[in-house]
Amino acid sequence: MQYRKEIRPEDPGALLLDETIFHNANGYLGVRSNFEEGYPEGIESIRGSYINGVYDFAGMKQAEKLYGLVEEKQTMLNVADTQGIKLFLGGEEFSLFTGRLLKGERILDMKKGYTARRMLWRSPRGKEVEILIRRVASFTRLPLFLIDYSVTALNFQGNLRFVSTHRGDIKNYSKSGDPRVAAESFRHLLPVRGRTEGAASFITSEASKSGILVCTAVDHVIEGGKAITLSTEASPGGAKTQIGGALGKGKTLRLLKYSIFTDSLRREDCEEAAGEELRRAVEAGADDIYRSQEEYLEEFWESAFLEIDGDEKLSDAVKYNMYQLLQSAGRDDKGSIAAKGLSGEGYEGHFFWDTEMYIEPFFALTRSAICRNLISYRYAILDEARKNARILGHKKGALFPWRTIMGRECSGYFPAGTAQYHINGDVAWSVVSYYLATEDFAFIAEKGAEIVFECARLWIDTGSWSQGTFQIHGVTGPDEYTCMVNNNYFTNLSAKFNLHWAVRFYHMLADSGWINPLAARIGLVPEEIQTFSRAEKAMYIPYDAELGINPQDDSFLSKKKWDLANTPKEDFPLLLHYHPLHLYRHQVCKQADTVLAHFIFEDQQDPQTIQRSFLYYEKITTHDSSLSTCIFSIVASKLGYREKAYRYFGDSAMLDLYNTHGNTMDGIHTANMGGVWMAIVYGFAGLRIGEKGLSFDPDIPDPWRGYRFRICYRGSRIQAAITFSSATFTLLSGAEKKITVYGKTYTLADSLSTALKRRSG
C-alpha cells in the first residue's frame, strides 16, 4: 500500500506539490515534506510545521467599520522548523541541485505510516552514496515527529558531518492575489526561551497576540559507525547540533532526529511536557515507534477497508485520500479538520462546514471515536457560537462561525461567509448522523443535544412567518456565487431537519429522565419545543411548478443564465476573474447547492423532481469548488446516470495527486477526500442511515469488476462486496443487525447475497 513518485529537483512546481502530497501528520501535528537540506536561493518552498488548533490573532482591515464586521481573525501558526539536516561528505555538501542524482524517488507507505526519500547521488568529485530518509508523525505518540536519516558509502571511505538545525525564528507563508491564502506574512510566533540539556535542544515560543506557548524539543541518536557530537548551541531563536563521524566503504551511518511538539492549550507546562515526551520517545527507540505505527494502521485499515477491483490506480488514489483524512483529523476538542488538513497554510488553517458534511460521515462509520472528538470540538466552542449569535442580533441560540479556529468568526467578507447560516444545520446534521450510526445516546445527553437545541433556537430567531409558512431570509447557501438570498432551498431544509431533531431529542431525553438538568442549564422550556415543531411543519420549501424543480432560492430562476460554454478556460475559477456582484446577478453555481440538498435530504422530494433539478443545475455549475463533483457523483449515481457518476467521481478522486485544481501546493483538499469515500459508499453502494435503520441500493460503475468496503454500524462491523451479478453483505463482528437492500429488510446474522439490480437513468 504505497504511493511512489520520481524526485525531479529540476521542476520547482513538482517540489512544491510534493511538499504537500508527502507531508506527515497525525491529527495533532503536521510537517510538510520539505528537503531537509533545503533548496537553493530562488526556488520557492512552503516550509512548515503545524499544530492542530494552535493559532494567533491577526488584524483584518475593513473598508467601512460597520457594526459587527470582523476586524480580527485567527490564523494557524507555522510553529517551528525541526526538519533541517545538512550532510557533508568531507568538504562536499549534499544537494540534489549539485552533483548528479542517479536515481531518486519519494515513497508514502500507508501501511507502515512513513514517508521516505530514497536517493542514489554522485557528488561533484565522484563520491557515490545511497541516502534513505524516512519520516514519521507518530499516531500513538502524537507530539512526536521522527526523521530517520541513513547514509551508505558506495565507492569511498572517509569523514562525514551532519549539521542539524532547530529553528524558532520563522514566519507563516503568504501569497497576494489569492483569497484562499494569507495575503501578508507576519512573525506570529516569537521565541522567548532556548536552552540545551545534554545534546537535546528546547525552544519555547509565544504567539504574539493569543499568548499560546509552543515548545519544540529535539534530540539525536547515532547508529552504525563511530560518531561523536561535536557541538550543540542554542539561543531563543534556534539551535544547531553538529555531529561528525567516520564512514567506511559499504558501511551505513544512521542519524535519528527526534522532534517533540507541545502547546499550552493542552499542557499546563508545555516545556516540561516536551522534555518528558522526548525522553520517552528516545528510550522507546525507532524500532518501537515503527512497530506501533504499523499496528495502529493495521487496525485502521481493518475497519476502514475499501478495495476496487478493476482499476488499481483509482483504488490507490482512494486509499491515499482515506489515509490523508486520518492524518488530518483532530484527536481532542481543541482542534478539528482544517480545509487543508495539517498539510499547508491554505485558508489559514480554518475549520469550515467541510468537516461536518464531507468528512465526519467517513469517521462515523469507520472510526467513531474520532467523529465524537470532532463534534466535541464544536461543543467546546459553543459559548463562542452563542456570542457570535448576539453580535448578529439574535437574542437566543448559537450561530457557529463560517470559518474559525478557536470559535470566533474569521470571515471578513460576510455575504459569502458569515451569512452562510446553514453551518448551524450542518453541525446539527452531523450530531444526528453520529447518533444514527452509533446509538451513542450518552454522548447526545452530554453534548450533542445541547448543540442541536441551541442551533434550533437560532432558526426561530432568524426566520419569520408569512402566509402560514416559516421562511428564512437574508442568508447564503452552500453556493458562494449566489449570496444574501431569501429561502435558500438547502438552508431551509437543513433548518427543518435541525428543528425536527431538536424535538426528537427533547422527548427522548425526557423519556429517559435526562432532560431536566440540561433544560435548567440552558433555560429550555416546553413552549420552545412546541415552537420548534410548528416551524418545522410550516417550513417554506421553494418549488417551481413550471420547471418542476426546486429553485436554489426565491430569486434564482429570475436571473440571467451565465454562458459557461463561451467563458474562456483561463477565466476559471470565476471568483478570481469576476466581481462578486457580477456573479450574484447570474444563474451560475460555484458548487452543489440544491443538488447537495437532494442528497442529504432526499426524502423531502420525489425522484422526478430530483432528476429534473439535477439536470438543470448541472448545466450552470462550474465546480470551481473542490466540494462539488463528489456530490454530483452521488446524486448522478442515485438517478442511474452511471457514466456521469463515474466521471464526476474520477474528477474528485484524482484531485490532489494530479493537482487538477492547480493549488494543491497550498495543501490537500480534505473535504473532497471525504466526498470521494462518500461517492463510493453513499453513491455507488447507495448506503443510507435513517431513523428506520441501515439500507443499501447498490450498483457498480461499468469500468469496475467489483468493489468492497467495510463499515461499523452500531457496534457491528459489516462488509459489502458488489460485483456485476451480486451484492453480498457479511457480518464480520458484533451483534446481528437488520439491513434493507433494494427495499427488502433482512436480518444480517452472518452473510447474505442478492442479485444486483442495476439502476437506469
Question: Phi, psi (5° rounding) for residue 55?
Answer: -150, 165
Active site residue 295: no
Among candidate residues 209, 181, 204, the one with its CA nearest the CA of residue 191 = 204
Residue 266's alpha-carbon distances to 28, 496, 760, in angstroms, are 11, 37, 53
Residue whose C-alpha cell reads 439491513 in the numeric block:
739
Catalytic entry in 206, 480, 536, 618: 480
Question: Phi, psi (5° rounding) for residue 591?
Answer: -160, 175
Beta bridge partners of 693: 690
How is residue 453 written as a grid cell?
437545541
Q: Are strands 560-561 and 586-587 parallel, antiparallel or unpaired?
A: parallel
CA dist., res. 378 & res. 443, Å (int) = 13
CA dist., res. 635 & res. 646, Å (int) = 11
CA dist., res. 732 & res. 720, Å (int) = 10
Among candidate residues 8, 36, 12, 34, the one with its CA nearest the CA of residue 21 = 34
Q: What's the burial of 279, exposed, middle or buried (CB within 10 Å: 0-12/13-18/19+)?
A: middle
CA dist., res. 630 & res. 672, Å (int) = 7
CA dist., res. 167 & res. 86, Å (int) = 14
Among candidate residues 553, 532, 531, the one with its CA nearest the CA of residue 544 = 553
For the beta carbon of residue 711, count every other beta carbon within 10 angstroms: 23
User: CB under 8 Å to 345, separation ≥6 — which residues?
Assistant: 46, 48, 50, 76, 78, 172, 173, 181, 182, 666, 667
Among candidate residues 305, 344, 340, the one with its CA nearest the CA of residue 325 = 340
Yes or no: say if 412 and 62 are a contact pair by the CB < 8 Å rule: yes
Give, as one character, the DSSP assignment of residue 562.
P
- Alpha-helical (H) ranges within 415-488 are 422-438, 441-443, 449-462
The alpha carbon of 393 is separated from its chain's Cα centroid by a whole number of angstroms, namely 31
CA dist., res. 143 & res. 147, Å (int) = 14
Is the preceding peptide bond at 573 cis, omega within 30 degrees of 0?
yes
Q: Using alpha carbons only, what angle is made at residue 20 by residues 363 and 221, rounded to the nearest 5 degrees?
A: 95
Q: Which residues are catalytic?
A: 480
